[in-house]
């Protein structure tokens, strides 16, 4: 009997752990009041480290959103504003918020046809093997912890790509090893060309206008 009781305690603990990891989009909707001032205003501009549009989150992979938030919280992504935002979130908050944004994808999903790129862009894409991870339409990465990129704001993509290349700056930089290896082989002008092309593709990302007074 004692053994059985112990077992049921273990089971209950396990179930509790699973429940804690479950994503709850409805709960997430109530946790984004600090985010909508930037991510809920279509075309909203940020000015650091240069003027660019705040990235679209609606439709992004939930696993990637959580991974990005953890990187900001830990300082692997140094961006000061997002570090401050992410550091206040619990793992459960991150999971719920990510689930909320993921289910706002554009429908219908973009077709899986390989995107036709102009020759000078195709050369850069080939050199970086970008589609091998991000998918031929840049909307279907090989892993949900990788970002959807198609249609994302080109000025944001440029800032993001340059950040993977930035070293030794206390306020700017991303330490992701995979992307650091990628961007090394390109000049800033080439990164801008890549960002312009990827941002021009049809995608599932968008900014859903959100008001605090719903
Ligand atoms: C003051 C404006 C501002 C606020 C408030 C804000 N963000 Fe951000 N967010 C940004 C900017 C600017 C970036 C781009 C940062 C960079 O260059 O890495 C960003 C990036 C992100 C990213 C990474 C997107 C990607 O494609 O990698 C996520 C995820 C994110 N924010 C989620 C949130 C969440 C969740 C909240 C609320 C808890 C929030 N943000 C609040 C401005 C803001
Ligand atoms: C081996 C797999 C791999 C390859 C190849 C790759 N990427 Fe990535 N990419 C990733 C991963 C993983 C991330 C998320 C990194 C992070 O957490 O910051 C990422 C992130 C990005 C981001 C940041 C998106 C955002 O929302 O902040 C951009 C832009 C990007 N990649 C563009 C490219 C381009 C352009 C190429 C080709 C030159 C490329 N990637 C090649 C795996 C890859």
How far apart CA 199 and CA 121 sit, in angstroms, is 13
**For residue 115, how far is its CA from the centre of ligand 1 (angstroms)?**
28
Report, as an integer, the average pLDDT of 124-149.
96
What ligand has the least distance to the C-alpha of 59? 1
Q: Is 174 close to ligand 2, i.e. is its CB under 6 Å away? A: yes
Choose one of 41, 74, 78, 85 to mutate for the ligand 1 pocket test, by most ligand atoms within 8 angstroms of C-beta: 85
168: left (phi over 0), alpha (psi -120 to 50) or beta: left
Minimum-distance ligand 2 atom for the alpha carbon of 161: 29
For 1, how many CA atoms within 13 A lie in the half-sphere containing its CB? 0
Q: Is 161 close to ligand 2, i.e. is its CB under 6 Å away? A: yes
The pLDDT tens digits for 7-34 are 555 554 444 444 445 789 999 999 999 9
Q: How confident is the model at residue 112 (pLDDT cuts 50, 70, 90)?
A: confident
How far apart CA 213 and CA 141 sit, in angstroms, is 35
Percent of the chain with pLDDT over 90: 81
What ligand has the least distance to the C-alpha of 81? 1
What ligand has the least distance to the C-alpha of 49? 1
How far apart CA 179 and CA 164 sit, in angstroms, is 6
The pLDDT tens digits for 54-91 are 999 999 999 999 999 999 999 999 999 999 999 999 99
Nearest to 148 by CA among 138, 161, 158: 138
**For residue 27, how far is its CA from the centre of ligand 1 (angstroms)?**
19
The lowest-confidence range among 1-15, 92-106, 119-133 is: 1-15
Cβ–Cβ < 8 Å for 83, 72: yes
Minimum-distance ligand 2 atom for the alpha carbon of 142: 2
- The answer to whether the peptide bond before residue 202 is cis (omega within 30 degrees of 0) is no
């Amino acid at each position: 009997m004692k053994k059985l009781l112990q077992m049921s305690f273990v089971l209950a603990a396990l179930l509790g752990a699973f429940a804690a990891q479950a994503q709850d989009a409805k709960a997430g909707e109530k946790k984004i009041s600090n985010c909508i001032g930037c991510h809920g205003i279509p075309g909203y501009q940020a000015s650091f480290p240069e003027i660019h549009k705040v990235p679209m989150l609606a439709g992004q992979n939930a696993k990637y959103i959580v991974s990005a938030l953890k990187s900001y919280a830990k300082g692997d992504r140094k961006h000061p504003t997002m570090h401050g935002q992410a550091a206040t979130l619990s793992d459960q908050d991150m999971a719920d918020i990510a689930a909320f944004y993921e289910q706002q994808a554009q429908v219908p999903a973009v077709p899986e046809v390989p995107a036709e790129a102009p020759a000078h862009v195709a050369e850069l894409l080939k050199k970086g093997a970008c589609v091998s991870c991000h998918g031929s339409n840049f909307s279907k990465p090989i892993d949900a912890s990788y970002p959807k990129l198609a249609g994302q704001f080109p000025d944001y993509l440029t800032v993001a790509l340059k950040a993977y290349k930035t070293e030794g700056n206390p306020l700017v930089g991303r330490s992701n090893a995979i992307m650091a290896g990628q961007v090394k082989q390109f000049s800033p002008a080439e990164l801008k060309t890549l960002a312009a092309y990827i941002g021009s593709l049809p995608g599932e990302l968008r900014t859903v206008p959100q008001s605090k007074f719903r």
